[in-house]
Amino acid sequence: MSKRENYERKTEKLLEPILEANPFELYDVEYVKEGSNWYLRVYIDKEGGITIDDCELVSRALSDALDKEDFIAEAYILEVSSPGLGRQLKKDKHFEKSIGEEVEIKLYKAIDKQKEWSGVLVSFDQDKLTVDLDDGETMDFARQNIAKVRLKLDF
């Protein structure tokens, strides 16, 4: 397990009692480096959406727990937020909740000279996503070839 994965898993464990005491669901945790800064990002969700007060509550409780455990060696910035409307789908539970929703898929390698696809998520398994494309065709995308999947935003 990489250092990043270890930090994310330990953070998830610290979040469990905080989330159980509140009506929040853990969407994702990521530990990433951007420029010269490390970020520990926690994405929470709840029915009806997340407020700034919700983020502040989780941030304060988690910050205290992180200070007590002190398992992250590098200096980092803690961010707690909602996954947003155009949320990225990473885990099986994200795909499960998004069946029937319109998604945008970005690929590492083009298919038919196209790297970006959109349509309605029909199903998924360990190896692929099946999407009804905007033109009415159904297409399978190998998960190993997918760079990013997110819910499509319509303005």
N- to C-terminal Cα separation, the chain: 40
Relative to beta strand 146-151, strand 138-142 is unpaired
CB atoms within 10 A of CB 124: 21
pLDDT tens track for 108-126: 999 999 999 999 999 999 9
pLDDT at residue 27, as a whole number: 93
Determine contact, residues 126/143, Cβ cutoff 8 Å.
yes
- Distance from C-alpha of 74 to C-alpha of 137, rounded to nearest angstrom: 48
Mean of the per-residue pLDDT values for the chain?
A: 93
CATH architecture observed for domain 92-151:
Roll (2.30)
Q: What CATH code would you report for 3-81?
A: 3.30.300.70
Domains 3-81 and 92-151 share a fold: no
Q: Who wins on pLDDT, 154 or 153?
A: 153
As given in the structure block, the two tokens for residue 99 are 């069946």
Domain edges within the chain:
3-81, 92-151
Average pLDDT, integer, range 40-50: 93
pLDDT tens track for 13-43: 999 999 999 999 999 999 999 999 999 999 9
